[in-house]
Amino acid sequence: MIQRLFLTRMIAPLTRRMRDLARDASANVLMLTGGGIMMLMLAIGFGVDYARAVQTRTELNAAADAAALVTVDPAMFNQPEATAIASAKALFNARVAGLPGVTITNLDVTATTTTSSVASASRTATVTWTATISTMFASIIGKDTFTIGGQAVSNAAQPPNINFYVMLDNSPSMLLPTTSAGITALQTVSAHNCAFSCHINSIVYGPIKDSAGNVIILANTYYNSGVNQDAGVYRYNSSTAKVYDANNTLLGSNASVNATSGSSAYTTLTYKNTSNATVTVNTYPADPFWLAQNYGKAYGSPAKIEMRIDAELAAAQDLIDTAKLTSSQLSSASTTVTYQMQFFSLNYEAYQLTPSLTNVNAINPSILVPSNGTITPFMLANGYHPNNSNPTVAPGVNTNNSHTAPYAALGQMNTLLPDPGTGAPNSSPQEVLIIVTDGYQDEMIGGSQIRQAWNASTLARCTAIKNRGIRIAILYTVYDPNTILPLYPNYAAKIPDISPALKSCASTTSGGASLMYTVAADQDISAALSNLFAMTVQTAHLVQ
């Protein structure tokens, strides 16, 4: 009102002068000029009012943004929606209280909290406001106020507490080198161009030899814990009947072995030592697994050939560290994000590699090391090497050479895994099953041998798990058809079916993509597994 009175008193003399000029015919030009000046002044005044309204709207929108974000702040997230709304309104009103000439005519705040399979809880907040701002120049023509308004929307998903169950395929088909160079190295020195480092105490495709043509034979105590393994390596030359130790030092002559192709029984090595005494050693033939682990001893370089089972183990160890870091980054002063993990094998059945579900911050990655026997591959039951593993089927049990059994393993996991909660602090954790596999099923089901991509019965078990709200994430280590022996063309022909089957088993992301990563030879299994893990993370953001 004071502003309006001031402007009226200032303009009144000017108005009287304009009337006087109107009675003076010679002053028409001056009147036109004065009228133009008047209109220009009014235009400038309206511009000032408009600029002030725009600036005020910006400040009010900033207050609305702050109010919207406070409802999804970690400290407020677990509070009832009504509490969050009241806090948002209080913050908005406090921020706008000092703005001159502003009257809030409407303030509406909503907060909607939902749950999903990706986040323990998601909250969307909307702040809608309307206000009037008094004018200075526009009031001359009766426009005392401008009406302005705006809206802010925020959304946040609270990172959930999650239990991760990680199944590591340690079946014989995972005994392929991780690199193309490694595959070529094994194929070059093995019979039938075989790239598999099969772990079996029998001679299947010919004996393992070193660069000098000596047959490598192992003492039957070679894999026993605490044994000096070099002392258990013998190099036998069938042409000269001489035997050497791991360092090519002559041990004796007149040597003989009783191993035959296809034999799965322990063998004996007999020779005359340098003192002409007869020495008999209980042995079995070295297998391609030994060759991959000790390639340098037989051929100089490289010292060993990394197999997928090695890279898989390293990836599992890295996953523990990744989970620790992620939970720490997502936690706040008011909310701790908890991840728990347990590891299982995937071969003849699901075997616990770690004893129980444990908070990742309490897991030492060294729990998954070969010396602990947690990842040693399972092979023929009647040819399984002793004392270096936790076989799920006792040696001597005929498994019909079936050692990639996802149907049985998924049935076990469905029984083991509890029903998931939302992952919120006041609920049970979410449940995620991570599977690392090459996806080739080799399993006896209902009296029939299944050797193919995961079949319909197996995929039905995937569906049963997912229907309980448990997510399945799969890392597919691509089965290279070039590594399959020409003796088995039907096996190679089924490889293209593997990826679609695994995608069918995996859960889908919010965008509709399969929760699956693919990694081939020469690619980083650990990075792929970390990326798969990261797909469970969701962060807060301002929507508009």
pLDDT digits (tens, 9 = 90+) for 246-279: 999 999 999 998 755 444 455 789 999 999 999 9
Q: Are 162 and 330 in contact (CB under 8 A)?
A: no
pLDDT in tens, 151-186: 999 887 777 889 999 999 887 778 889 999 999 998
Residue 70, pLDDT score: 86
User: Would you state the structure tokens that stand for residue 139, as one six-digit string?
Assistant: 């009031």
Residue 97 has pLDDT above 50, yes or no: yes
Residue 374 has pLDDT above 90, yes or no: no
User: Would you state the structure tokens that stand for residue 68, as one six-digit string?
Assistant: 């919207």
- Which residues are CB-contacts of 260 (< 8 A; sequence separation ≥ 6)? 203
Residue 125, pLDDT score: 92
Q: Which of 233, 223, 231, 228 is nearest to 371 (CA)?
A: 223
Q: In whole angstroms, what is the distance from residue 24 CA to residue 138 CA?
A: 31
Residue 433, pLDDT score: 97
Q: Which of 441, 435, 451, 447 is nearest to 404 (CA)?
A: 441
Estimate to the nearest angstrom the gap between the alpha carbon of 71 and the chain centroid: 29
pLDDT in tens, 437-489: 999 998 888 888 888 999 999 999 999 999 999 999 999 999 888 787 666 66
Residue 237, pLDDT score: 94
Q: Are 377 and 199 in contact (CB under 8 A)?
A: yes
Residue with the larger pLDDT of the pair 383 and 517: 517
Residue 297 pLDDT level (bands cut at 50, 70, 90): very high
Q: Are 305 and 289 in contact (CB under 8 A)?
A: no
Q: Are 422 and 414 in contact (CB under 8 A)?
A: no
Residue 6, pLDDT score: 45
CATH level 2 (architecture), domain 162-175+307-542: 3-Layer(aba) Sandwich (3.40)
Residue 379 has pLDDT above 50, yes or no: no
H or E stretch covering 153: strand 145-158
- Which residues are CB-contacts of 115 (< 8 A; sequence separation ≥ 6)? 121, 122, 422, 424
Estimate to the nearest angstrom the gap between the alpha carbon of 430 and the chain centroid: 15
Phi, psi of 212 (to 5 degrees): -90, 0
H or E stretch covering 471: strand 471-477
User: Would you state the structure tokens that stand for residue 94, as one six-digit string?
Assistant: 């406090």
Phi, psi of 172 (to 5 degrees): -55, -30
Residue with the larger pLDDT of the pair 67 and 36: 67
Residue 277, pLDDT score: 96
3-class SS at 388?
Answer: coil
Q: Are 243 and 255 in contact (CB under 8 A)?
A: yes
Distances (CA, A) of 112 to 18, 86, 152, 255, 426: 62, 14, 14, 82, 18
Q: In whole angstroms, what is the distance from residue 373 CA to residue 387 CA?
A: 9
Estimate to the nearest angstrom the gap between the alpha carbon of 293 and the chain centroid: 29
Residue 542 pLDDT level (bands cut at 50, 70, 90): very low
Residue 424 pLDDT level (bands cut at 50, 70, 90): confident
| Phi-psi region at 193: left, alpha or beta (left = phi > 0; alpha = psi -120 to 50) | left
User: Would you state the structure tokens that stand for residue 534, as one six-digit string?
Assistant: 């990261």
CATH 3.40.50.410 in the chain, residues? 162-175+307-542
Distances (CA, A) of 404 to 6, 182, 292, 453: 92, 23, 21, 11
Q: In whole angstroms, what is the distance from residue 337 CA to residue 158 CA?
A: 9
Residue 302, pLDDT score: 94
Residue 20 has pLDDT above 90, yes or no: no
Give me the mean pLDDT over the 41-49 stretch. 59
Residue 411 has pLDDT above 90, yes or no: yes
The CA radius of gyration of the chain, in Å to the nearest whole number, is 38
Give me the mean pLDDT over the 130-155 stretch. 79
Q: Which of 287, 232, 278 is nearest to 259 (CA)?
A: 287
The model's pTM is: 0.71
Residue 198 has pLDDT above 70, yes or no: no
Residue by residue, DSSP assigns 261-295 as TT--S-EEEEEEETTS-EEEEEEEE--HHHHHHTH
